[in-house]
A and B are shown apart, each in its own frame.
Chain A
Amino acid sequence: MKLLVNFSRGKGRKPIIAQVVRDTGVLINVERAVIDSSEGEALIDVPDDQCQLVRNSMTSLGARVRMLEHGIHFNEQECVDCGACISICPNEVFSFTPDWKLALAEERCVLCGKCIEACPHQALMLPL
């Protein structure tokens, strides 16, 4: 399960992720993170059965946590079925149907975002 964690770094600069790993013993995989002097946002991956535990622990430390149930956002209107994304994706999310329509295996997506730049038609976006 993927969780999007937002936290402010106002007072004390608490190491939220490290704290949660220590308190819960759950190994958190940080897939991407943007952290500046005042706030941070991290996309983390945790085992499904420990998701609630991690979520509660983070929330109690003052973070806002949202479950991400979706992979990359696909705008079918903009897509022309070229396939530029297919060879770029490290997890083989994209493929063609027999009649050359682009198909997505959303459950494989780790939201790395590499396909976003590679799409000439801006049909792929992070689901935020």
Chain B
Amino acid sequence: MHKTIDQINERIRDGSARVVTAEEMPAIVAELGETGALKEVDVVTTGTFGAMCSSGAFFNFGHADPPIRMERIWLNNVEAYGGLAAVDTYIGATQQSDTREDQYGGAHVMEDLVAGKTIELRASSRGTDCYPRRTITTELLLEDLNQAIMCNPRNAYQRYNAAINTTDRVLHTYMGTLLPNCGNVTFSGSGGLNPISNDPKFRLIGSGVPIFLCGAPGMVIGEGTQHSPAGGFGTLMVTGDMKKMSPDYLAAATMYGYGVTLYVGLGIPLPVLDLDVVRATAVRDEDISVDMIDYGVPSRSRPLIRKVTYAELRSGSVEVNGEIVRTSSLSSYRRARAVAQELADWIKKGSMTLSLPTRPIDATRQVKPMHQTSKGPRVMDIMDRQIVSISESEEIKTAAQKLLKGETNHLPVINGEGTLVGIVTTFDVSKAVANPGKAKLVRDIMKKKVVTTTIDEAVDIAVHKLEKFNISALPVVDAEHHVIGMLTAINLGKLFGGRWLK
């Protein structure tokens, strides 16, 4: 048995279609069986509501008198793209305000417009014969724009890795605040309600398919950027009319220490055509697993801690290395459900009918890493290989002599086995001399918590460490924690010798 899209649309139009959400579907299939569910259900609606950084909108402002060809454009001091001429622009969600930094950005401009607030447009131009005007400042409401078309290059990620932090300091990431020493786990996504997870082979989701986007009817344009369905990370490019959107389903946000992003509510109705659709839409949170990744490693390939399902993540805590760790969702399951429910209501009312893709989306693609023609500098390229170190049982006076003789400000402290156990600086030694107390030996004054680097670490990451901890040197250690070099602020000068910067 199978149903055609025309039969389903016929039922939608005469009000007899049975529409359920993807959350309800597993129970229906369990109760009625696959064939029974196919007979019973016509449409399954999906929904997700979470941070989707790769979002934005095209605006057309209409022409001023005298007219201007805008080259640089700001909306509430957030710069928008000026390369579209003459009164068109694209504003991206993550672009930050020139004046308010991460407290206001492109996402907030979109949120304010949808909420009916006034936006200040500022634009400048060099002036041409046909567009003589050089500057303009005006206040606009959403209704004043000719078009406000949301167009999001990468939305609706099929799933997303969960994040954990094995380092001993707090990390502020796009996955939220990650507490030190595996103190919490963050995750994102609506699991069994996610649109692509209910159609992982892209039989129903493709170009031209109608969707719910931030409370307005919208459409799938095609595959999203970074679309990688082969590994379970499909994405969609979507569009919708911003003038019809609702503040309930679009919310600007700031991830502390990371920046501005936009929470987008997105849902796709799936026509239940055959048993394959029934099986795909019976997916549950338990069936979808993601990698729990250590965000403490600042590299493209971060280590996998374990696999974990959405059901475990949503339960509030997961087990990591024998300990119970609390979880935080960054996306809203409540609003994802509301999206799927409202979309179901639209279809029950007959205000949205379904279409099959006019152009399919490739379900086998795999994203490639960046092709890098030049590798950035690594620690080994600029580090000092001559190391002046000291043993923890030596006297402070010896440390002072070594600092002077070695013409350095940092002495890595080595134990009997030759491994790094601390660091002393000229500051530590001066302090001990200026305030003579009980401290006699290096181990009494050394800092035991040493921030280190490795020979193959990118210099950018080492510099980030120097800045973050407000220090001026990093011992370079090998796998056994032997010191094999030192990276100091002075070494960074080598970068400006023309060797790396062209």
Given contacts A87-B327, A88-B177, A100-B337, whether A81 and B254 have CB atoms under 8 Å apart is no
| With A80-B251, A86-B328 as contacts: A101 and B334 at CB distance below 8 Å | yes
Contacts of B329 in A (CB 8 A): 82-84, 86
Chain B residues near A114 (CB-CB < 8 A): 177
Q: Which residue of B lies closest to A99 (CB)?
A: B334
A39 contacts the other chain (CB 8 A): no
Q: Interface-forming stretch among B56-64, B255-263, B419-427, B443-451?
A: B255-263
Say yes or no for B332: interface residue by CB 8 A criterion.
yes
Chain A 68-92 interface mask (CB, 8 Å, partner B; 1/0):
0000000000001111111110000
Question: What chain A residues lie within 8 Å of B335 (beta carbons)?
Answer: 80-81
Within the complex, the shortest CB–CB distance from B284 to chain A, in Å, comes to: 16
Q: Is B288 in contact with chain A by the CB < 8 A criterion?
A: no
Supposing A80-B263, A88-B179, A100-B337 touch, asked if A117 and B332 sit within 8 A by C-beta, the answer is: no
Chain A residues with CB under 8 Å of B263's CB are 80, 82, 120-121
Given contacts A100-B337, A121-B251, contact A82 B330 (CB under 8 A): yes
Given A87-B179, A87-B185, check contact A120 B333 (CB 8 Å).
no
- Among A83, A84, A86, the most chain B Cβ lie within 10 Å of the Cβ of A84
Closest 7 CB pairs of A and B: A87-B184, A120-B253, A87-B328, A87-B326, A100-B334, A117-B256, A81-B334
Q: How far is the CA of A104 from the CA of B144 in the complex (A)?
A: 41
For residue B76, CB closer than 8 A to chain A, the reply is: no
- B176 on the A face (CB < 8 A): yes
The verdict on A50 contacting chain B, using a C-beta distance below 8 Å, is no
Most buried by A among B172, B185, B334: B334
B48 contact set on A, CB distance < 8 A: none
Quick check: A120 and B184 within 8 Å, CB to CB?
no
Spell out B's residues near A (CB within 8 Å).
49-51, 172, 176-177, 179, 183-186, 251, 253-257, 261, 263, 316, 325-335, 337
- Check if A52 is an interface residue, CB within 8 A of chain B: no
Interface SS, B side: strand
Q: Does A65 contact B (CB under 8 A)?
A: no
Residue among A88, A101, A114 with most chain B CB within 10 A = A88
Measured between alpha carbons, how far is A83 from B333 in the docked complex, in Å? 9
Decide if A17 is an interface residue (CB 8 Å cutoff): no
Closest to A82 in B: B332
A120, B176: Cβ atoms closer than 8 Å:
yes
Tell me the complex Cα distance, A87–B254, Å. Answer: 18
Q: Which of B251, B328, B333, B335 is most buried by chain A, counting CB atoms within 10 A of its CB?
A: B328
Query: Complex: how many Å from CA A81 to CA B337?
Result: 12
Q: Give A79 Cβ to nearest chain B Cβ, in Å.
A: 9
The answer to whether A120 and B334 have CB atoms under 8 Å apart is: no
- What are 8 of the A-B contact pairs (CB < 8 Å)? A82-B50, A82-B331, A84-B186, A84-B328, A84-B329, A87-B183, A88-B179, A117-B172
Instruction: Assess the B333–A100 pair: CB atoms within 8 A.
Output: yes
* Closest chain B residue to A101, Cβ basis: B334
Asked whether A88 lies within 8 Å of B184 as measured between CB atoms, the reply is yes
Contacts of A80 on B, CB cut-off 8 Å?
49, 251, 263, 332, 334-335
Q: Compute how far the CA of A95 lies from the CA of B326 in the bound complex, rounded to whole angstroms.
A: 11
Closest chain B residue to A114, Cβ basis? B177
Residues of B within 8 A of A121 (CB): 251, 253, 263
Chain A residues closer than 8 Å to B179, beta-carbon distance: 87-88
Tell whether A112 is near chain B: CB-to-CB under 8 Å. Answer: no
Q: Is there a chain B Cβ closer than 8 Å to A118's Cβ?
A: yes
Of all chain B residues, the one with the shortest Cβ separation from A86 is B328
Besides A100-B334, A117-B257, 9 other A-B contacts (C-beta < 8 A) = A83-B330, A84-B186, A86-B316, A87-B325, A88-B179, A100-B332, A100-B337, A118-B177, A120-B176
Which residues on B sit within 8 Å (CB–CB) of A101? Answer: 334
Contacts of A83 in B (CB 8 A): 328-330, 332
Instruction: Determine the distance from Cα of A120 to Cα of B325 in the docked complex, in whole angstroms.
Output: 21
In the bound complex, what is the Cα–Cα distance between A118 and B186 (angstroms)? 11
Q: What chain A residues lie within 8 Å of B333 (beta carbons)?
A: 81, 100
B49, B184, B254, B326: the one contacting A122 at CB < 8 Å is B254
How distant is A102 from chain B, measured CB to nearest CB, in Å? 8
Nearest neighbor of A122 in chain B, beta-carbon distance: B254
Question: Within the complex, what minimum Cβ distance (angstroms) separates A93 from chain B?
Answer: 12
CA–CA, A57 and B183, complex, Å:
40
Q: Give the distance to chain A from B311, nearest Cβ to Cβ, in Å.
A: 14
Q: Chain A 86-128, CB within 8 Å of chain B: the 1/0 string?
A: 1110000001100111000000000000100110111000000
